[in-house]
A = this chain, B = another copy of it.
Amino acid sequence: MLTILGSGSALPTRDHFPTAQLLDLREKQFLIDCGEGTQIRLRQMGLKLNRLGHVFISHLHGDHCFGLIGFISSLGMLNRTADLYVHGPVGIRELFEPQLAFFCADSPFKVVFEEFDSRRHAVIYDDRSLSVSTLPLRHRVPCAGFLFREKPGNRHLLREWIDYYHIPVAQLHLIRQGADFVNAEGELIPNDRITAPPNPVVSYAYCSDTAYHEALIPLLQDVDVLYHEATFAESEVKRARQTLHSTAREAATIARKAGVGKLLIGHYSARYHNKELLLNEAREVFENTELTSDMQTFAIESMVKSS
């Protein structure tokens, strides 16, 4: 599940906080960007962060990281003890460590900064169930998006067939991982007779902030859900070029060319009170587009192709 904590851009509006998202995948939480007010939205929504270990900061513009110090400070007051890893572009440690040292000197947990090279597509987080890699973006400062990819989980035991073949408990672990079974008579029972396939894996890509950037397309192939910034409408395409942001149509073009399952757009310029214009411009190019708004949640589901 994806929770939008802030869907706006640099200037907050009546409705939109600056950018932040909470991603819940495989029983783990990941915070993606941390604009001012992130901790406020979390508290307003009553969200607990017991399963959060890693924060990913796309770039060092204020609307993506000014909430970091308050967020970390409040985690300390809420008695967090587990280490917190903050992944960000080179420079993030030097920028935030002095403030952490001053304001969070009594913090009961450690903050570990992990810097990445935003020009490279590389795995920066990896565990048994998923990996996170950087997506180089084209913006005014070093900036990377993030691609979350689940790994295939275990197969599901078909209880009635497990019983029928009298399979010993000790072997179930291997069978979940795809092993066939050989019974006392030497007969081989193929795995797919006694198990069902694992849950489909899902992938989520986060691209903010960036100019239209075709180098992303191969990296986003078949991603289930893509969040792509859509700061401007087509009428402001010049401003998009100047500021290295995208229009809604450009976000949709990336989505279509990469063949993603669903597109979410956000990071709206404060000038758009009504976002329908942005939505319509995107849908002309890529039908399965949705607007994001603060405190909204989206399922991150597999969009299995019929092919």
Question: Could you list which residues of chain A lie within 8 angstroms of chain B, going by C-beta atoms?
Answer: 10-14, 17-18, 36-37, 39-40, 43-44, 46, 60-62, 66-67, 69-70, 73-74, 77-78, 95, 98-99, 102-103
Contacts and interface: CB of A to CB of B under 8 A. Distances in A.
B78 A11 contact: yes
Given A10-B74, A61-B103, A66-B103, 13 more contacts: A11-B74, A12-B44, A13-B43, A17-B40, A18-B70, A37-B40, A40-B40, A62-B69, A62-B70, A66-B69, A95-B98, A95-B99, A95-B102
27 contacts: A10-B73, A10-B77, A11-B43, A11-B74, A11-B77, A11-B78, A12-B39, A12-B43, A12-B44, A12-B74, A13-B43, A14-B43, A14-B44, A14-B46, A17-B40, A36-B36, A36-B39, A36-B40, A36-B70, A37-B37, A40-B40, A62-B69, A62-B73, A62-B103, A95-B102, A98-B98, A99-B99
A13 B103 CA distance: 20
Contacts of A14: 43-44, 46
A67 B11 contact: no
A10 B73 CA distance: 9
Most B CB within 10 A of own CB, among A18, A40, A102:
A40
A75 to B, nearest CB: 10
Nearest to A18: B70
A18 B40 CA distance: 9
Nearest to A35: B70
A239 to B, nearest CB: 14
Copies of this chain, complex-wide, total 2
Contacts of A13: 43
A57 B275 CA distance: 37
Contacts of A73: 10, 62, 66
A62 B46 CA distance: 21
Contacts of A12: 39-40, 43-44, 74
Contacts of A70: 18, 36, 62, 66
Contacts of A46: 14
Contact of A36 (B37, B60, B78): B37
A228 to B, nearest CB: 23
Most B CB within 10 A of own CB, among A17, A69, A74, A78:
A74
A11 B39 CA distance: 9
A30 to B, nearest CB: 22
A114 B102 CA distance: 20
Cβ-closest 8 pairs across A and B: A36-B70, A66-B70, A12-B40, A62-B73, A12-B43, A37-B37, A62-B103, A14-B44
A199 to B, nearest CB: 35
A95 B98 CA distance: 8
Contacts of A36: 36-37, 39-40, 67, 70
A12 to B, nearest CB: 5
